[in-house]
Structure 1
Amino acid sequence: MKSQPIKQFIDHHFRHFNAATLKDAAQSYVKHLESGGKMMIALGGAMSTAELGVSLAEMIRQDKVHAISCTGANLEEDIFNLVAHNYYKRVPHYRELSADDEIALYKSHLNRVTDTCIPEEEAMRRIERAILKEWMEADRKKERFFPHEFIWKVIQSAKLEPYYQIDPKDSWVLAALEKKIFMVVPGWEDSTLGNMYAAHCLLGEIKDPLTVKTGIEYMMALAQYYLETTKNHSLGLFQIGGGISGDFPICVVPMLHQDMKQENVPLWGYFCQISDATTSYGSYSGATPNEKITWGKLSKDTHKFMIESDATIVAPLIFSYVLES
């Protein structure tokens, strides 16, 4: 069979069930952009360790993504991979590992994420040493910055460049810095660097724990961004995985409406979630998009999609479709 562009392949072959929803979501994403809309990506799960930057970075560079909400793990793991890729260990037989096998990985300072092990020294400790200097310097000057701004400071210092082990164009964090896109990192404390930061505060090396700005301040910044952006553009949310990276940004609309009593604030203009959680009772990740109507997040007319599949398969396909459109 003659090879086809991905867009053409999807348009022809993806006709029913989750495949059809993938195609519908991709086509709607394109129409949203063509009509002047903007898009925020919510990045949950272990997408950076899955090297989603290979496709996401190009989406950012080509203005197909205008804002990012991500977990602290996704923020840091993109940079871990940037400087330590050659030291990662893939374990394709991870389903067969015994507890003793896991202990052996632990003793080798290899932290497993499904089939991929992140090396502690070459990735985590290398970034810790670089960012600790930025934390301590800001603390000394009584300056405060967001978690992603500290990452950007480290990158801009060029101190990590000698350690780059992938093509920098495949790092979505570098692309986000290049384009200066808006970012929020809710719940950053629940990350490796967040734990390290807490430790250095407890050790007294950082005097003020608020040297790194908080999630509340991220929500305040997001509210301002949402109001400013939606003056002239519809804003969509493309959510990869569940959890706080998606729940946090989508809540800004009911906050503006119900808590700040703002009038005429547009609801989200597009919504798609890739989830491996089946529709269920009491689950945010498994809730159908229509449930969000009752919370004042989406309207009945918002284009809404739920793709129940593996994001490491679905997201690159949709991104490629959008880039080819």
Structure 2
Amino acid sequence: MGTREFMERNFLHFNAATCLDAAQGWIKHLEAGNKMLVTLAGAMSTAELGISLAQMIREDKIHAICCTGANLEEDIFNLVAHDHYKRIPNYRSLQPEDEIALRENGLNRVTDTCIPEEEAVRRIEDHLLKVWQKAENSQQRFFPYEYLYQLLESGVLESSYQIDPQDSWMIAAWQKNLPIFTPGWEDSTTGNIFVSHVIRGDIKDIGIVKSGLEQMYKLVYWYKEITQNSSLGFFQIGGGIAGDFPICVVPLIRQDLEEDCQLWSYFAQISDSTTSYGSYSGAVPSEKITWGKLGVDTPSYIIESDATIVAPLIFNYVLNK
């Protein structure tokens, strides 16, 4: 039984039905000739969402990504250090002393999975520094994702790959030259590393990494270009800045620039944040109508569930796996 048959047979009510509706809405959106932006919050790369996300990118089901700096880098960490990751099935019962022991062994815990400091972070640091210094020496400036694309293109990491490159969403995005917006990149390991090298003097110009404001500037022009001949959907995994940042581009164009543009034409969010007072991540889609982001007729879905379970199901439904 394929994913579509399974979901259509079993996902008939409640969150399950909404999950199916969102997947079918995605297909209908694309079949009408439209595009899709996906946002990634949380630790989706460490959860190995790339296994299904990469195929979605390769098959042109996704046309841009907005993610946290952590998701940008952690797909690369997993690519080169997968065999050194350590899973902690009993993470809920860890004591502070157990956490210290993990830290002393160079293991940075993300829920039940530990990212190895030396094998993951430090393995790419020197290579990234060379990419940053090359840009500085040539007086060029790039977005965070463009530096990682340059790192992948250089081929210096290939001998260190520990997973099938087909399961890396960053490799798929690089091969498609997908735009990736990473607001708040400084709140990430590689962002921290970059600042440390500026302080040390290894890099003189902190401005070689383009800022969040410049990313919003690019997003405005990208959105206007994409929506000239199609509309754009918005599939949000989790909450936070990864979702907040890109969805604001429409009211920016319509209300601040006072220019006409299309609203987002599809909206879905997978979140474990239940509807509550003052919670953006737990706000129902209709609230976005008042902010000039969605329309009355925009197909909208909110799935209150675990994205590590739901997202691969939706992706595989769209891919007809």
TM-score by length of 1: 0.98
C-alpha distance in 2, partners of 1:235/1:143?
31
2:135 alignment partner in structure 1: 138
1:301 aligns with 2:297: yes
**Any residues of structure 2 matched to 1:234-245 within 5 Å, and which?**
234-245=231-242
Instruction: Return the alpha-carbon distance in structure 2 between the equivalents of residues 209 and 57 of structure 1.
Output: 32
2:168 match: 171
Give runs of aligned pairs for residues 38-117 of structure 1, distance below 5 A.
38-117=35-114
Establish whether residue 324 from structure 1 lines up as the match of residue 320 from structure 2: yes
CA distance in 2, matches of 1:129, 1:85: 19
Question: Which whole-Å CA distance do the structure 2 matches of 1:38 and 1:188 have between them?
Answer: 25
Q: Measure, in 2, the Cα distance between the counterparts of 1:115 and 1:38.
A: 34
Residue 154 of structure 2 is aligned with which of 141, 157, 160? 157
Deviation per residue, 1:11-58 (Å, 9 max, x gap): 111111000100110110110001111000101110000000000000
Residue aligning to 2:16: 19
Cα deviation for residue 141 of structure 1 reads 2.0
Secondary structure, aligned partner of 1:271? strand
Partner secondary structure for residue 152 of structure 2: helix
**Alpha-carbon distance in 2 for matches of 1:320, 1:134:** 35
In the alignment, structure 1 residue 313 sits paired with structure 2 residue 309: yes
* Residue identity matched to 1:268: W
Q: Secondary structure at the match of 1:285?
A: coil
State how 1:225-240 maps to structure 2 within 5 Å: 225-240=222-237
Shift of 1:204: 1.4
Structure 2 distance, partners of 1:96, 1:254, is 45
Code of the aligned partner of 2:248: C
Partner of 1:123: 120
Question: Any runs of at least 4 consecutive aligned residues in structure 1 with deviations exceeding 4 A, and if so which?
Answer: none
Q: Tell me, in whole angstroms, the C-alpha distance in 2 between the residues paired with 1:279 and 1:227.
A: 32
Q: SS state of the match for residue 289, structure 1?
A: coil
Following the alignment from structure 2 to structure 1, what is the Cα–Cα distance between the partners of residues 138 and 202?
Answer: 14
- Matching residue's letter, 1:247: D
Q: Give the AA of the match of 1:175.
A: A
Q: What residue is the counterpart of 1:270 in the other structure?
A: 266
Return the alpha-carbon distance in structure 1 between the equivalents of residues 156 and 38 of structure 2.
28
Distance 1:208 1:261 in 2: 35
Show CA shifts across 1:222-271 (max 9, x none): 111100111111100100010111110000000001111112x0000000
Q: Which amino acid aligns with 2:300?
A: K
- Residue 148 of structure 1 corresponds to 145
Query: How far off is 1:220 after superposition?
Result: 0.8
Amino acid at match of 2:284: T
**Cα RMSD between the aligned structures?**
0.8
Runs of 5+ unmatched residues, structure 2: none
Q: Which of 248, 252, 255 is 1:251 aligned to?
A: 248
Partner of 2:286: 290
For 2:268 and 2:131, how far apart are their aligned partners in 1? Answer: 37
SS of structure 1 residue aligned to 2:286: helix
Deviation of 1:110 after TM superposition, in Å, equals 0.2
Q: Deviations over 1:186-205 (max 9, x none)?
A: 11110000011111111111
Normalised TM-score (structure 2):
0.99
Q: Distance in 2 between matches of 1:285 and 1:198?
A: 30
Q: Which of 201, 205, 228 is 1:204 aligned to?
A: 201
Mind listing any 5+ residue stretches in structure 1 that lack a counterpart? none
1:88-130: per-residue Cα shift (whole Å, max 9, x none)? 0000110011111100000001000000000001100111111
Distance 2:147 2:178 in 1: 15
The number of residue pairs the alignment matches comes to 321
